[in-house]
Amino acid sequence: MLYASNPEFLREGSAVTDWYQTDRIVVGGSAEACARMRSLYSDIDAPLLECDVTSAEMIKYASNAFLATKISFINEIATLCDLVSADVDEVARGVGMDTRIGTAFLRPGIGYGGSCFPKDTRALDFIANLHGYDFHLLRAVIEVNQRQRLLPVRMLREVYGSLEDRRIAVLGLTFKPDTDDTREAPATEIVAMLRAEGAIVTAYDPIRFPVPEGAVGCETVAEAVVGASAAIVATEWREIAEADWAALAATMADERVVFNGRNALDAAAVRAGGGRYIGVGRPNA
């Protein structure tokens, strides 16, 4: 019996495309095992890397950990941009123009989620601890990601003080658009934190499924935000990002705060409706 490790690098929402247009194929195992695996990919035009089993598995963990690191890094830069009045979107664009870095995963916001990045970063950190190594950088990546989820609640507390009995809309419940996966989605934790603060939470997602415990599900963005003291964009679904935010903000209450947790909205449109726009790393937007 032969054993081989063949990690996948498929993204939710584009798995079929990623299968046929992959950047690389990684196979770990003996020469015979790799030869048999190679034949399975005869119709895929991509570089194929053969290595030992442990290295193949490490490639998977290291790839996801590096991408998570880019996300947490740009979120740290976003925090600094808030402090010095720089625009993180422009910073990310300029940094990404360097071909050694690229623009992928340099999108600031309320952090990563899903079934891969949280699990794989924690697993790699566990492996490090198991072997007596303190992986400082990776732990910082994980800690920064957890902190980002606190941002909208902290910002709303700064505006309103107490959130008791305030109606707050959470828009987007999946961890990213174009998928139905809510595993490790920031929205789930944000709803829980808001409920713990005593807020009345409405929730909307284009995919109809049960909302987080304590939230009231809504059929449309408009239904979720009407009469709300604040709206939190947790997922940059097209239905949310391309909505008429001038009209939506006008239906909100109190300070009409719109926390753009994915920097996906037009700040001018929010303000045109009398809303107060708060982005991530965009203090002057």
DSSP string, 47-98: -EEEE-HHHHHHHHHHHHHHHHHHHHHHHHHHHHHHHHT--HHHHHHHHHTS
Instruction: Look at residue 285 and tell me whether its pLDDT is greater than 80.
Output: no
Average confidence (pLDDT) over 74-80: 98
Examine the fold and report which residue of 147, 170, 191 is the final residue of a domain before the chain moves on.
Answer: 147
Say which residue, 14 or 125, is predicted with more confidence.
125
Check residue 4 and give its pLDDT: 95
Check residue 12 and give its pLDDT: 85
Check residue 258 and give its pLDDT: 98
In the numeric block, which tokens belong to residue 249? 């903000």
Average confidence (pLDDT) over 210-235: 96
Average confidence (pLDDT) over 141-159: 97
In the numeric block, which tokens belong to residue 59? 């490639």
Residues 43 and 32 in one domain: yes
- Whether 116 is catalytic: yes
Query: H-type helices in 105-163, by residue range?
Result: 117-130, 136-148, 151-160
d(CA 48, CA 51): 10
Domain that holds residue 92: 57-147
The mean-pLDDT minimum among 6-15, 56-65, 181-190 falls in: 6-15
Average confidence (pLDDT) over 100-110: 97
285 assigned to some structural domain = no
Instruction: Look at residue 188 and tell me whether its pLDDT is greater than 80.
Output: yes
Instruction: Look at residue 1 and tell me whether its pLDDT is greater than 90.
Output: no
Examine the fold and report which residue of 94, 124, 147 is the final residue of a domain before the chain moves on.
Answer: 147
Whole-model pTM? 0.93
Number of domains within the chain: 3
Residues 118 and 183 in one domain: no
Given the residues 34, 81, 116, 218, the one annotated as active site: 116
